[in-house]
Chains A and B, each alone.
Chain A
């Protein structure tokens, strides 16, 4: 195979592109800019850590099943860990969202980073909702019967039936977590490529401003 043929291969082109956009020192940096030393920058990582606990406890719940998480002390404990890590996940994500909104984090070509964050938030809300209707208790029955009219009013009820426990459970443990994890990974990669958004300038230069003397 000639060198020009190798250069044309999609694997070669993809590798060159990844190397250019995200070299190892950018993917796993040693330092961050000085402005990152603020508590407001902690909540993105807190969200990610909570997501890790959500998935780990969700995997244990999947291994043991509803009789175990409703009927044993250890099952109750893991079930509660799953719930409370979700609470911390959303709490941290909302504070992260407010912080990024206040600093207009879409500046400097970071629109895709912002949008992946928005879609991850929406996917997470859907994941949490399907989790509430998959508890297999009276609470989940109440939530699903209350939600069905709202979902049916959108026209999505034929494809997304909140009274169908099997369908909701599959959305909750396969499709939506997959979407949330892939989107989170993409969001983090974009943060690494573009870097953390810098603060606003204290004395910004106003373009086309008239100077009077």
Chain B
């Protein structure tokens, strides 16, 4: 429980949100992190080897 509370304390939900301003672009840090994670997941999904694929190729 203490671990969960200390982890939750890393993200202050009671304060104002943080925003990134870049010219006319304005995005919350939370949304920016989600988009970066989606792009990273997309690249990893293409690049990472799929379990069992090598074995299947060898069997062919």
Mark A residues whose CB is within 8 Å of B: 34, 37-40, 42-43, 87, 91, 94-95, 98-99
A contact patch SS: helix
Query: Considering the chains assembled together, what is the distance between the CA atoms of A180 and B13 in angstroms?
Result: 31
Q: Does B45 contact A (CB under 8 A)?
A: yes
Instruction: List residues of chain B with CB within 8 A of the CB of A98.
Output: 38, 42
Assess the A43–B38 pair: CB atoms within 8 A: no
Assess the A38–B50 pair: CB atoms within 8 A: yes
Assess the A95–B38 pair: CB atoms within 8 A: yes
Q: Does B56 contact A (CB under 8 A)?
A: yes
Assess the B38–A37 pair: CB atoms within 8 A: no
Query: Considering the chains assembled together, what is the distance between the CA atoms of A87 and B38 in angstroms?
Result: 11
Assess the A37–B56 pair: CB atoms within 8 A: yes
Mark B residues whose CB is within 8 Å of A: 34, 37-38, 41-42, 44-46, 48, 50, 52-53, 56, 60
Q: For B38, give its contact among A39, A40, A91 (CB under 8 Å).
A: A91
Query: Considering the chains assembled together, what is the distance between the CA atoms of A91 and B38 in angstroms?
Result: 7
Query: Considering the chains assembled together, what is the distance between the CA atoms of A98 and B35 in angstroms?
Result: 12
Assess the A39–B52 pair: CB atoms within 8 A: no
- Closest 9 pairs between A and B when the two form their complex, measured CB to CB: A39-B45, A40-B45, A37-B53, A37-B50, A95-B42, A38-B50, A98-B42, A95-B41, A39-B48
B contact patch SS: helix
Assess the B45–A38 pair: CB atoms within 8 A: yes
Instruction: List residues of chain A with CB within 8 A of the CB of B44.
Output: 39
Query: Considering the chains assembled together, what is the distance between the CA atoms of A40 and B38 in angstroms?
Result: 12
Query: Considering the chains assembled together, what is the distance between the CA atoms of A39 and B43 in angstroms?
Result: 10
Instruction: List residues of chain B with CB within 8 A of the CB of A87.
Output: 34
A-B contact pairs, 5 of them (CB 8 A): A38-B50, A43-B45, A95-B45, A98-B38, A99-B46
Instruction: List residues of chain A with CB within 8 A of the CB of B48.
Output: 39
Q: CB-nearest residue of chain A relative to B44?
A: A39
Instruction: List residues of chain B with CB within 8 A of the CB of A38.
Output: 45-46, 50, 53
Instruction: List residues of chain B with CB within 8 A of the CB of A37.
Output: 50, 52-53, 56
Q: CB-nearest residue of chain A relative to B60?
A: A34
User: Apart from A37-B50, A42-B45, what 7 extra A-B contacts exist at CB < 8 Å?
Assistant: A40-B42, A91-B37, A95-B42, A98-B38, A99-B42, A99-B45, A99-B46
Q: CB-nearest residue of chain A relative to B57?
A: A34
Q: How far is the CB of B3 from chain A (nearest CB, A)?
A: 17
Q: How far is the CB of B45 from chain A (nearest CB, A)?
A: 4
Query: Considering the chains assembled together, what is the distance between the CA atoms of A38 and B42 in angstroms?
Result: 12
Q: How far is the CB of A77 from chain B (nearest CB, A)?
A: 12
